[in-house]
Amino acid sequence: MATFFGEVLSVYSRAVDEDDGEELEEDEEDEQIRRELEEKREVQLQWSPEVSESLRSGNKLQCSDFVLAVGHNASSFLSVYVLTPAKWDAVGRALVWNERSRAGTGQSSEESACVFHRHKDHPSVLICQVTCHIAEDQLFQWTQKVFDCLQHRQLSVTVLSDSSVADYKTADYLCSSSAPFLRSLHTTAFSDQPVCQSLEQPNIVTGLSAAVLNHCQVHRIAAVVYQCYSDVIGPDSVTMATYKPALSKLGKSIQLDMSPSTNVLRKFVRTTEIQSNLYI
């Protein structure tokens, strides 16, 4: 800067330099927050000591049938009709933390995690029950990590998925009013005949079911999704029973208890209660 006397002075602007420093500090803080949030939202797999030791040795889980239940009705169906009568071991879980699921905060409830069960007599049969929310940015990560632990040769995947009948699009009103009902979608490697008709366009499969189906399609794994459209909220005995044909072709490896006891059903069926009423 030149003075009135012609002398040139160097100018130091504290305002500009301080602002730049503050912006740099804010950028570093934001970056650190993003890194911590990414670490917190990372899907964590926790396996039993036996499975962990096998995976550390470079061996993948020998799995011929992988049944994935997504949603409360699908998961409750497995608990009532499959897990109760047979002999199963809980061999692992996937912990997921996001804005709707707090499994990564130390909670031990199985409601907040994805639980894996393995059949004692048929160790190649694996079941996973998912009742927690998995965010969009965690779907690929969950699928990649789980399937990296499984051998893909001769692997067959069956996905049972809950969906609201309000999301079902059809020109036939009578069809949507007959809920609950099943619709299927499968990969090109799936050579068997689905137990119900295919999902009609423009209906789509979303969430974890879609992520698993897409992964299986890319890796040429035989997989089928059975989506149950229901008009009730929460576990319902009628909706649960709708899934029974979906596992009828898995043979002796998964045996269904066709007549579960009332006590078993009561553990998983939630009675709908009126929270408030103007006339009470």
Place of tokens 């799936």: 190
Question: Is residue 2 over pLDDT 70?
Answer: no
pLDDT at residue number 34: 78
**Averaged confidence pLDDT in the chain:** 82
> Using an 8 Å Cβ cutoff, are 183 and 198 in contact?
yes
Query: What is the residue-wise DSSP string for 118-163?
Result: EESS-TTEEEEEE-S---HHHHHHHHHHHHHTB--TT-EEEEEEEE
Q: Where are the domains of the chain?
A: 43-268
Tokens 């002398």 sit at which residue?
7
pLDDT digits (tens, 9 = 90+) for 50-97: 999 999 998 999 999 999 999 999 999 999 889 876 689 999 999 988
pLDDT on residue 277: 45
Torsion of CA 97, 99, 100, 101, to 10 degrees: 10
**Facing residues of 224 across strands?**
158, 186
pLDDT one-digit tens code per residue, 16-32: 555 555 566 667 777 77
pTM over 0.85: no
Q: What is the pLDDT of residue 269?
A: 77
For 139-191, write each residue's pLDDT tens digit.
999 999 999 999 998 999 999 999 999 899 887 766 656 889 999 999 999 99
Q: Quick one: which of 154, 142, 152 has its CA closest to 211? A: 142
Give whole-number Cα distances, 241 to 30, 194, 208, 213, 265, in Å: 49, 17, 22, 23, 11
The pLDDT value recorded for residue 97 is 86
Going by the DSSP 8-state scheme, the letter that residue 227 receives in this structure is E
CATH code: domain 43-268 is 3.40.50.10900
Task: Give the integer Cα–Cα distance in Å for 96 and 105.
Answer: 9
H-helix or E-strand containing 28?
helix 14-40
The beta strands (E) that lie in the chain are given as 44-47, 65-70, 88-95, 113-119, 125-130, 156-164, 181-186, 222-230
Other CB atoms within a 10 A radius of the CB of residue 204 amount to: 11
